[in-house]
Structure 1
């Protein structure tokens, strides 16, 4: 073949056809398999048989790549790094939330109000425009809250003098009990008054020495009050748009995502919103029921400030496990100071009955299956939230845990559950020990056999 003026010929390959295209001769095509067989040592009779010895286990392990880790270690190591990444992301989110805590509280309140008023707005939107339905729902809820606050303030103003007299009488009863009661140590009224006057003098001295610091705290508290009103105004503003255009806002967000992930994100978010809305509505209903029952109980017993104490019970119901009982204990203390031990005992029994009604009737009936968290998870979540963010953390811990679990359940496809009894841990441990013992025995036997075979070859 001529290429750029030169003739290039093919070099004959060993075992291949000649370059001129003629048929290969038998002598020019050696059989490679026969050649390899000729080079291999033949097995002779049993007397001259070659002994093939096995490589010792230590040599096998010595030739292994030091960077070749087991497959299970690679898998769990990757899972550990993924878990570390998730923890870092969660920590960053928590840190960012603490920096804009007011905005977070406003959005959280807006979501709670939206979950409560959304069914009302949807029902009104069937007979009127949605904007008008939103306005009616918002104005109606604000009117209800304003009416309750007005009633509470008027009741406090009307019963304040009676409460002060009853409180003073309760203090005198306590002094009399300390002076003439069955306690082994008695205090005279003069000693008690001297002790109280000493405390008052120390308080006055502290105020005079720290007047500047206290003034700064007063100003900061005034700023906190202004911040509270700002958060409330922002939450109401956001709630209006959530009720009016919440669906359009969510549709816009979904359209910004890749098409392959829209369905899974929408499914997870819908499950989380269903859980959060159910928890918020259920908590509001249960808190209202607790407050109403507490008001009826305190009014029947004749405890003063029944309405403010009922509102306190309503607010405390938003803190799981400890909120409502703590508020009712305060009501029992007020009953003790105002009416004596009998009224306090009646209020305490009524508090226990209200707690039983809430736990065994209202919680299963209102919450249903929307929030299915174990009591241990609830207790740990409330405790962790309290340590991380104080009262706010105690309030938002349970809904956040419920939403996270709902999102995980929506995205995760579980394997079939385990049926029957689980193996006994003691039996599992004994089985592991037996397998380890058999492995060690087989390793020792293999090492002995290798040593014997090496010695035979050398001999």
Structure 2
């Protein structure tokens, strides 16, 4: 830092002497050297901030394409080990096809299991929820809250009147949701299409991209790209292991407690775990509401305690054991990343924020500690 400041002041002094101006002490034109250094860094930060803003605007403009590419990278990171294993006994094209088919069958099987479970338990769950609402109302009236009698009934009638009054707007929202469904199908098709090429010839595509760069930029690009992919694959596979473990623990606990909809709630916990620090408690809060309606306050309290236990287990055991090599970020950085991502792009931003920050930090770390003047193999 000090040497860089000295170089900046020397360049300023030479510029003043070249221009024939009066040379003041320090070569800073009468201003404080600290002010010159701050100004030199300020305009650079402004340029970097403007570039980041333009990138985010472009990504937001083409958010469907960005989402499809992100999903394709996730699929590639998850299926690459299986594809490489199958590649030993069959051609690469057949290995990619088999890996993708197995992944699609697994996802459709889980969704079918969830649908069958909800359909099979729906009637019994409706009766339990009706009785649970009555129990909750009695508990709120007689418990420490002392809710006025008939408040929940009035709330239910108000909700019915609201739905009847705003039926047209709700219908328009549902119709717009069909447009969202088309977007989801488009993103899924594009992600699957890109996944095929990433799994089949992703290495050749990256080498081609590196070949388009100037000679002195190819080494840093190769090193940074390797670090970025290692971090991304480590994070993706690690978060899947963490999410599956959380879902298994939640499913077993809810089954022991006799809570209905065990499989859908466990699947909800699996997908919610992809949002660090926030997703898992939200999913378990939904399970607590179902437990409160179906089994009463005691079961809901047990589920709330389960939130604390699983949170501690995830933070102190799973993440350090599974993801310590891929993600070396302080929990405060993770929390701020999730919040900033959610504010910027909603749920998708919360999911993408941590892997994005992890990749950027790993690339910065490897480029900072690598001597780029030595040719890389």
TM-score, length basis structure 2: 0.87
Task: Say which of 102, 124, 133 aligns to 2:86.
Answer: 124
Distance 1:109 1:186, change over 3 A: closer
- The answer to whether the aligner puts 1:312 opposite 2:273 as a matched pair is no
Number of the residue aligned with 1:204: 164
Which residues of structure 1 form unaligned runs of 5+? Answer: 1-61, 415-459
Cα gap change, 1:258 to 1:66, in 2 (>3 Å): closer
User: Which whole-Å CA distance do the structure 1 matches of 2:296 and 2:182 have between them?
Assistant: 40
Task: Return the offset for 1:325.
Answer: 1.1
Aligned partners of 2:109 and 2:23: how far apart in 1?
84
Distance 1:250 1:307, change over 3 A: same
Instruction: Give the alignment partner of residue 149 of structure 2, picking from 170, 188, 201.
Output: 188
Does residue 140 (structure 1) correspond to residue 102 (structure 2)? The answer is: yes
Q: 1:108 is matched with which residue: 70, 74, 89?
A: 70
* Per-residue CA distance 1:233-265 (angstroms, 9 max, x = gap): 111111111000101101110110111110111
In structure 2, the CA distance between the partners of 1:185 and 1:93, relative to structure 1 (3 Å rule), is: same
> Following the alignment from structure 1 to structure 2, what is the Cα–Cα distance between the partners of residues 323 and 226?
26
1:245 to 193, 201, 205: 201
Return the offset for 1:67.
3.9
Q: Structure 2 unaligned runs (5+)? A: 1-21, 371-377
Q: Does 1:155 align with 2:117?
A: yes
1:41-440 correspondence runs (5 A): 64=24, 67=29, 69=31, 72-179=34-141, 181-183=142-144, 185=146, 187-189=148-150, 192-207=152-167, 211=168, 213-413=169-369
> How far does residue 194 in structure 1 lie from its aligned partner after superposition?
4.4
Deviation at 1:71, TM superposition (A): 5.0
Query: For 1:395 and 1:184, how far apart are their aligned partners in 2?
Result: 37
1:63 shift after superposition: 7.8
Deviations 1:381-420 (A, max 9, x none): 1111111111111111111111111111121149xxxxxx
> Displacement of 1:188 after TM fit?
3.0
- CA separation in 2, counterparts of 1:221 and 1:184? 39
Secondary structure of 1:303 counterpart: coil
- Find the counterpart in structure 2 of residue 19 from structure 1: none
1:306 and 1:215 map into 2 onto residues whose CA distance is 31
TM-score scaled to structure 1, two decimals? 0.72
Question: Which structure's CA Rg is the greater one?
Answer: 1
1:143 match: secondary structure = helix
Give the conservation status (yes or no) of the 8 Å contact 2:28–2:36.
no
Mapped to 2, the partners of 1:410 and 1:72 lie a distance apart of 30
RMSD of Structure 2 on Structure 1 (CA): 2.2
Query: 2 CA distance for matches of 1:151 and 1:188?
Result: 41
- For 2:135 and 2:316, the matched residues in 1 are separated by 38
Count of matched residue pairs: 348
Map Cα deviations across residues 396-452 of structure 1 (whole Å, 9 max, x no partner): 1111111111111121149xxxxxxxxxxxxxxxxxxxxxxxxxxxxxxxxxxxxxx
Pairwise CA distance, 1:356: 2.4
Higher helix share: 2
User: Aligned pair in 2 of structure 1 residues 222, 247: CA closer, same or farther (>3 Å)?
Assistant: same
CA 202–263 in structure 1, closer or farther in 2 if over 3 Å, else same: closer
Local SS of the residue matching 1:96: helix
